[in-house]
Structure 1
Amino acid sequence: MEHRAITRVNYRARIWFIRHYETGKWKVSVFESEHNHPLCPPKYRHLITANRVLNEVDKTQANSLRACGVKTCHIMGYMIFQKGGYDKVGFTSKDLHNQISKTRRGKVKDGDAFAALAYLLSKADSDSLFLGNFTLKDGRLDNLVWTDRASVVDYECFSDVLAFDTTYKKNVYNKSLVIFSGTNHHGQITIFRCALISDERSKTFKWALKEFLEIISGKLPGGVVTDGDRAMRETILEVFPSIPHRFCAWHLHRNVIQNIKHKHFWDNFNVLLYGQ
């Protein structure tokens, strides 16, 4: 994507303030009101960001209609008709969508922890090998780990290599999704366990790994593969001191591509890394 060209038009309109140190009062020192471009026409004034706002009455009405099942686009149309035009509403359709989405996320945030724990408890009722644990911080769900029967059985069979990855994130909650995985006899990815952690510090990783050890009854993997995170390396050295630790091939390959711009080297490196 190319950058847009910057056009300078010698725009001079401005206002400066200075503060008198003895009196503490502010006064205008420079004021130039002349513009060298056309101003926004009055009919488009309501589209300027500074002029767009949903007041509390608009928010309450929009949330009430949405709770009754009315679509956001229909709510916008109703409010435009109610106020007598687009320029009388005071906000755009995008502003309304953002407000309703924000309200919905707020409601989910207050109840999603209980919903998640209730779901895991229901799974435990139907799966005798389903295991999970969680921690709280200030009365809120902080870290969460879980695994089911299929994952436990897969680990018993395919625990030669354990991949420990935190690449995935949830934007709404800002928690890392940690996936403990391996490879089965068909070369397919197999999930051993999942965790949602509040941060990527050594202390949190240590908790997640120790919980993993409890679930697998202390059976250690043949090797551990990670993305090279420093806190993760320190944790593995402490929790799995005798287990070989290697960096993920995908991350090694990506670092080579980013730092060495030589295709012949890439080809030779791939042969060494992947054997092909």
Structure 2
Amino acid sequence: MGIHVPSNVPMESTPFKGMEFEADEIAYGFYNEYGRKAGFSIRKEYVNKCKKTGVEGVRGKDKRDQNVKNPRAETRCGCEARLVIVLNRDSKKYVVSEFIAEHNHYLHLPSTVHMMPSQRKVAATHAIEIDLAHELGLRLKQSYELLSKQDHKNYLRSKRQRDMEHRAAASLGRYFSRQLKENPSYYFATQLDCEELITNIFWADARMIIDYSHFGDVITFDTTYSTNRDARPLGVFLGFNHHRETVVFGGALLYDETIESFVWLFETFLEAMSEKKPITIFTDQDAAMSAVIKVVTPETYHALCSWHMWQNAEKHLGHLLKTEPQFNADFLACIYEYDSEDEFLTAWNEMLDKYDVRENKWLIDLFKLKEKWAQAYVKRIFTAGMKTTQLSESFNADLKDCLRTDLNIVEFFTHFETIVNQKRDKELEAEYNSRQKFPRLKLKSSPMLNQVATVYMPKLFDLFQTEVEEVMALSILERNVSQTHSYVVGVFNQNGKYEVIWNPLDETLSCSCRKFESFGILCRHGLKVLDVLDIKLIPNRYIMKRWRRDAKDGTCDMCNV
């Protein structure tokens, strides 16, 4: 994990050997404040050594079953950083006898230090607010939101009253002006009709634009109705961050869902994002949207949401779902299970014949779009593991929970901000946990797992560790070693074979399952070949930056894999 030394702490706030304090509590407070600025939590111990080993700061051996499904993450890592004080009996003061500044773990970001155990102190004023909230019957989540937003939104009620006195367009203009004043990088655009009335609106704050530069390789876009009393469709651009948490790239209120509105929206979205086009976009089966994506951003792969497909299947094939229990499994297998085009085509034709649905118009039209939804084709494109627009569905559900149909447009934007901030709070929590807790290696001696444990975010590490575990079940069924090494990999006496090619000249690896090309981590088949070749570390080119701990460091041009 390397050595990490705090570098952003002023000298006057940094302890040193020989420093004196009037009391041990003062020393604790000084060191705790130093930890807050540096990004680490502290705890007070008179003696902190394992009685058996004499080693400090290491969790004892886990006595639970080794097969436990979700083992508790490590929070102790043997860090030697410390401040030791001793009482000088002559001066009656506490003197620093030892100070070690180097840490063997990641330091927390300024935005997450409030989550550290030693910083979780509730101020007296906040305690009063919590008691008051409890007396008023507010739920815990509501009282937390009350605290977190109290400082900068305590005038919200009067502000809403002022907004509601103006017409929606004027209020909207005032809202956007305030946003621009607070952050000049805020982006918004409105489309006017022939009578100079607002029809479509798009907005993205600075954080959304930055997040898109890092994670906008795969996005999802969906619309929903009844977001306010005008019942305008709300469209939200979403994606996955490096924690595989939802990240928001922008929002839109549309007048309608016509080609004209979508052309304006997608052109405006790309303008806001400096013309960086996503590799893949997931949408529902809206024909107007599909036509616009093909024209506005033809380089982008347009994938159809499998969840929406299933919803449509219930409408068009409901009789089969009721009378043929196996149809459900056969239809979903055609979407998800077949890696090769031949296997997919065979299974699809068998399904049509088995249920006598060759003349079904919906299935005929769906088959024409097979490159947008069948695994055999979708695996050719980078999707970051996304298969549906359910990120959008989830976001819309969260938004509807705090909306009423009598809200004016500015109140709607206020609620939208609240939901976006909740998503960002989840990212901060995930970031904090990734630095506070360490993944539990199931094969502690594995050089490869040790390599990526400090590189991948926890969720990605868990997924990769599963691939490593599955290597043991695989066999090399065929091999052809020439200028390039070709292997056929599979599970002995089971269906499913994958071709893995290793080129020793440029150290490139490819597998017919295309997990790396589509998801961004190496597959078990490729790892099996690396193991056979006695290659114990992953080549750097196969550790994708968008899944790394430092994914948001520096600039990111959304590499196309």
TM band (smaller chain): 0.5 to 0.7
**Paired residues for 1:45-84 under 5 Å:** none
Match of 2:280 among 199, 206, 223: 223
Match of 1:267 among 329, 347, 352: 329
Quote the residue 2:181 is aligned against.
125
Quote the residue 1:100 is aligned against.
none
Is residue 262–residue 289 contact of structure 2 (8 Å, CA) maintained in 1? yes
Residue 153 (structure 1) shift = 1.5
Quote the residue 2:296 is aligned against.
239
Deviations 1:117-136 (A, max 9, x none): 21121111112321001122
Q: Which amino acid aligns with 1:202?
A: I
Is residue 164–residue 171 contact of structure 2 (8 Å, CA) maintained in 1? no
Match of 1:208 among 237, 242, 265: 265
Residue 252 (structure 1) shift = 1.1
Quote the residue 1:187 is aligned against.
244
Deviations 1:45-95 (A, max 9, x none): xxxxxxxxxxxxxxxxxxxxxxxxxxxxxxxxxxxxxxxxxxxxxxxxxxx
Q: Which amino acid aligns with 1:218?
A: E
Q: Distance in 1 between matches of 2:238 and 2:225?
A: 13
Residue 109 (structure 1) shift = 9.8
Structure 1 pair 125–271 and aligned structure 2 pair: CA distance change class (3 A): farther
Residue 197 (structure 1) shift = 1.2
Q: Which amino acid aligns with 2:327?
A: F
Q: Distance in 2 between matches of 1:109 and 1:270?
A: 53
Is residue 175–residue 197 contact of structure 1 (8 Å, CA) maintained in 2? yes
Quote the residue 1:145 is aligned against.
202
Is residue 256–residue 266 contact of structure 1 (8 Å, CA) maintained in 2? no
- Taking structure 2 as the reference length, the TM-score comes to 0.28
Deviations 1:243-263 (A, max 9, x none): 111111220121233324144
Structure 1 pair 274–191 and aligned structure 2 pair: CA distance change class (3 A): farther
2:235 equivalent to 1:178: yes
Residue 218 (structure 1) shift = 0.8
Deviations 1:146-181 (A, max 9, x none): 001221111111112121211234362132111111
Q: Which amino acid aligns with 1:165?
A: D
Q: Which amino acid aligns with 2:295?
A: E
Residue 270 (structure 1) shift = 4.2
Q: Distance in 2 between matches of 1:133 and 1:271?
A: 43
Residue 202 (structure 1) shift = 0.5
Q: Which amino acid aligns with 1:230?
A: A
Is residue 168–residue 178 contact of structure 1 (8 Å, CA) maintained in 2? no
Residue 204 (structure 1) shift = 1.0
Structure 1 pair 271–189 and aligned structure 2 pair: CA distance change class (3 A): farther
Measured on the aligned residues, the alpha-carbon RMSD in Å equals 2.3
Quote the residue 2:212 is aligned against.
155
- Taking structure 1 as the reference length, the TM-score comes to 0.56
Q: Distance in 1 between matches of 2:225 and 2:211?
A: 22
Q: Distance in 2 between matches of 1:222 and 1:237?
A: 13
Structure 1 pair 243–114 and aligned structure 2 pair: CA distance change class (3 A): same
Quote the residue 2:306 is aligned against.
249
Deviations 1:219-248 (A, max 9, x none): 110111111111111101100112111111
Structure 1 pair 188–133 and aligned structure 2 pair: CA distance change class (3 A): same
1:162 is paired with a residue whose SS is strand
Consecutive unaligned residues of structure 1, counting only runs of 5 or more, are 1-106
Q: Distance in 2 between matches of 1:133 and 1:207?
A: 10
Is residue 257–residue 266 contact of structure 1 (8 Å, CA) maintained in 2? no
Quote the residue 1:11 is aligned against.
none
2:170 equivalent to 1:114: yes
Residue 199 (structure 1) shift = 1.2
- How many residue pairs match? The answer is 169
Is residue 279–residue 299 contact of structure 2 (8 Å, CA) maintained in 1? no
Deviates more, 1:131-140 or 1:206-215: 131-140
Q: Which amino acid aligns with 1:265?
A: F
Consecutive unaligned residues of structure 2, counting only runs of 5 or more, are 1-162, 338-561
Q: Which amino acid aligns with 2:241?
A: N
Is residue 182–residue 191 contact of structure 1 (8 Å, CA) maintained in 2? yes
Q: Which amino acid aligns with 1:121?
A: S
Structure showing the higher strand proportion among its residues: 1
% identical aligned pairs: 31
Is residue 174–residue 198 contact of structure 1 (8 Å, CA) maintained in 2? no
Structure 1 pair 112–151 and aligned structure 2 pair: CA distance change class (3 A): same
Structure 1 pair 152–166 and aligned structure 2 pair: CA distance change class (3 A): same
